[in-house]
């Protein structure tokens, strides 16, 4: 095992990302930039040093210690250009205001940190979920991990945005047990406007994944004003019914839990806010999905 990857975090005892108790591995990198993304720390191209403006008392200890002569941790361009994540400022900040939001790890290190969770997986029919970002963005790293856990007989799932080269990833998907894939909008222009990418490849990949005979759940992040209209939910459910042998949809209501991450990463310009959909709206959307003969799943 030699692959080296960028891991945002390894979350233990997760119960929202598939069956049973799961360990979720969040990998860095994603081809999309969704306007509601709650994990901007998984975006590529930014150094993952988070600084809390609320905690910082401007003592300047961090910059006095910085061997790269960074003059302000709030200057995102400067941090991106110079920081090598040596960790000195994190260690000595008196306010614990600085955090490293990506970790360079070997596949061995990831495996070691998960091995102790096997007992929980066995007792709960749980397993490991690869998330992100888009896990296929670091394909070699993902491949090593998935193959390893497959050989160990551990249940594995992936949360994917659906944007990947299917032929290159096919062997990895064949080793997984569950696939969660988003359909964010059936209108490609709207999809592109809000995520930076059209939906054609995603829909094509769902059709190809359907032939792998895996358990597939389509996820819809419900974003008011973007995709919560009857027409979109109906055409998504119809597509799912037509293409999956066991059609299942999970509706995930928009939430604002990622907003602090944007602030800490200096990504304030990328913050978009939406209304959180009410229980009544979610129920109406569930009923639409069910009326199309598609099962509604809930893990939360």
By CB under 6 A, residue 170 contacts ligand SF4: no
User: Per CB under 6 A, which region of 24-32, 80-88, 152-160, 271-279 contacts ligand SF4?
Assistant: 80-88
Q: Other C-beta atoms within 10 Å of 112: how many?
A: 12
- The stretch among 85-93, 141-149, 187-195, 209-217 that binds ligand SF4 (CB under 6 A) is 85-93
**What is the smallest separation between the CB atom of 100 and ligand SF4, expressed in angstroms?**
7
- How would you class 151 by CB atoms within 10 Å of its CB: exposed for 0-12, middle for 13-18, buried for 19 or more? exposed
Distance CA 96, CA 138 (A): 30
Residue 203: count other Cβ atoms within 10 Å of its Cβ: 16
How far CA 3 is from CA of 77, 107, 114, 300, in Å, comes to 29, 6, 16, 33
- 71, 87, 112, 275: which one binds ligand SF4 (CB under 6 A): 87
For ligand SF4, the binding residue among 21, 27, 32, 89 (CB under 6 A) is: 89
The Cβ of residue 269 has, within 10 Å, a number of other Cβ atoms equal to 7
Q: Kindly state whether residue 56 participates in binding ligand SF4, applying the rule CB under 6 A.
A: yes
98 belongs to the binding site for ligand SF4 (CB under 6 A): yes
Residue 104 binds ligand SF4, judged by CB under 6 A = no
Which of 58, 245, 257, 300 forms a contact with ligand SF4 (CB under 6 A)? 58
Which helix (H) or strand (E) segment is 233 a member of?
helix 230-243
Q: How far is CA 184 from the centre of its chain?
A: 14
Rounded least distance, CB 58 to ligand SF4, Å: 5
Q: Which residues bind ligand SF4 (CB under 6 A)?
A: 49, 51, 56-62, 65-66, 68, 70, 73, 83-89, 93-95, 97-98
């Amino acid at each position: 095992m030699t692959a080296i990857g960028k891991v945002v975090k390894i979350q233990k005892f997760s119960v929202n990302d598939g069956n049973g108790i799961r360990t979720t591995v969040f990998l860095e990198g994603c081809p999309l930039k969704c306007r509601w993304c709650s994990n901007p720390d998984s975006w590529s191209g930014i150094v993952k040093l988070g600084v809390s403006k609320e905690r910082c008392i401007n003592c300047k200890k961090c910059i006095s210690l910085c061997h790269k002569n960074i003059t302000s941790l709030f200057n995102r361009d400067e941090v991106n250009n110079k920081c090598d994540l040596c960790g000195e400022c994190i260690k000595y900040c008196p306010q614990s205001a600085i955090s490293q939001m990506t970790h360079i790890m070997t596949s061995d290190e990831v495996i070691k940190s998960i091995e102790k969770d096997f007992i929980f997986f066995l007792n709960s029919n749980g397993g490991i979920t690869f998330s992100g970002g888009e896990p296929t963005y670091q394909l070699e790293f993902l491949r090593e991990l998935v193959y390893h856990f497959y050989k160990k007989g551990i249940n594995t799932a992936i949360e994917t945005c659906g944007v990947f080269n299917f032929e290159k990833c096919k062997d990895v998907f064949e080793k997984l047990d569950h696939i969660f894939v988003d359909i964010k909008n059936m209108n490609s222009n709207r999809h592109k406007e809000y995520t930076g990418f059209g939906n054609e490849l995603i829909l094509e990949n769902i059709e190809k994944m359907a032939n792998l005979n895996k358990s597939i759940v389509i996820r819809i992040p419900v974003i008011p004003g973007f995709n919560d209209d009857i027409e979109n939910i109906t055409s998504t459910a119809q597509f799912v019914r037509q293409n999956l042998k066991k059609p299942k949809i999970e509706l995930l209501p928009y939430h604002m839990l990622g907003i602090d991450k944007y602030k800490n990463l200096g990504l304030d310009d990328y913050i978009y806010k939406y209304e959180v959909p009410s229980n009544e709206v979610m129920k109406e959307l569930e009923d639409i999905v069910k009326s199309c003969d598609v099962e509604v799943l809930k893990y939360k």
